[in-house]
Amino acid sequence: MSLKVGQKAPDFKVNDQDGNPISLSQFKGKKVVLYFYPKDQTPGCTVEACNLRDNYKVLQKKGYEILGVSTDNEKSHQKFIAKQQLPFSLLADTEKKLHEKYGTWVEKSMYGRKYMGTARVTFVIDEKGVIEEIIEKVDTKNHTNQILGDAKPAKNTAPKKAAKAKKTPAKKAKKPASKSSRKK
């Protein structure tokens, strides 16, 4: 990452899901959570977005505005917002200009194949437009906790695994002691 905590966050102008131009400067006086994610409708990105959705009121009470950023287009963002009922804007950085400013368009590797993609990174920006925190190891299920720095969990919206039925082993019949182990 080329950006560091304490630096002024780069301003930008990118369209949201409805084609409205959004800039960081229009949020002056508010804290901004600018989270970069790889792709709409994918499992990890959906869990992360839903965690932020379910804790949106808590984040707003603490003065945060949420902006999600991916390289998906406006139409894709509209579908994602509708399907997951997201209350915040998603920015369509199809030309990757915002990604480049924030250093989130990076070389990745999967199964030995190298390709360019979005690094899952969140920038917490204060009311003056200064980077307060950079979260590089995002926990998608508990992202709100990471942002707020809370030890206690906010709403965890991760799908719950079905409880495994405990199998109690059948009671084994006691074997009579062998002749050699009996006392004489």
> pLDDT tens-digit profile of 35-76?
999 999 999 999 999 999 999 999 999 999 999 999 999 999
DSSP state letter for 89? E
Query: Count of CB atoms within 10 A of residue 46's CB?
Result: 19
More confident residue, 116 or 173: 116
More confident residue, 26 or 160: 26
Q: Is 4 exposed, middle or buried (0-12, 13-18, 19+ CB in 10 A)?
A: exposed
Task: Assess whether pLDDT exceeds 80 at residue 167.
Answer: no
The pTM of this model reads 0.80
What is the model's pLDDT at position 2? 82
What is the model's pLDDT at position 1? 46
Strand 105-110 to strand 89-92: parallel, antiparallel, or no bridges (unpaired)? unpaired
What is the model's pLDDT at position 176? 52
Using an 8 Å Cβ cutoff, are 118 and 99 in contact? yes
Rounded to whole angstroms, the Cα distance separating 1 from 104 reads 8
> Cα 184 to chain center, whole Å?
70
Rounded to whole angstroms, the Cα distance separating 147 from 179 reads 68
Q: Which residues contact 59 (CB under 8 A, 6 or more apart)?
A: 33, 52, 66, 144, 147, 148
Q: In degrees, to the nearest 5, what angle opens at C-alpha 167 toward C-alphas 161 and 169?
A: 160
What is the model's pLDDT at position 153? 47
Point out which residues pair with 178 in neighbouring strands: none
Task: Assess whether pLDDT exceeds 90 at residue 154.
Answer: no
Active site members: 45
Q: Which domains does the chain have, with CATH numbers?
A: 13-150 (3.40.30.10)
What is the model's pLDDT at position 174? 52
Using an 8 Å Cβ cutoff, are 119 and 99 in contact? no
Task: Assess whether pLDDT exceeds 80 at residue 164.
Answer: no
Closest CA to 16 of 99, 77, 106: 77
Point out which residues pair with 106 in neighbouring strands: 117
What is the model's pLDDT at position 110? 87
What is the model's pLDDT at position 177? 53
What is the model's pLDDT at position 119? 93
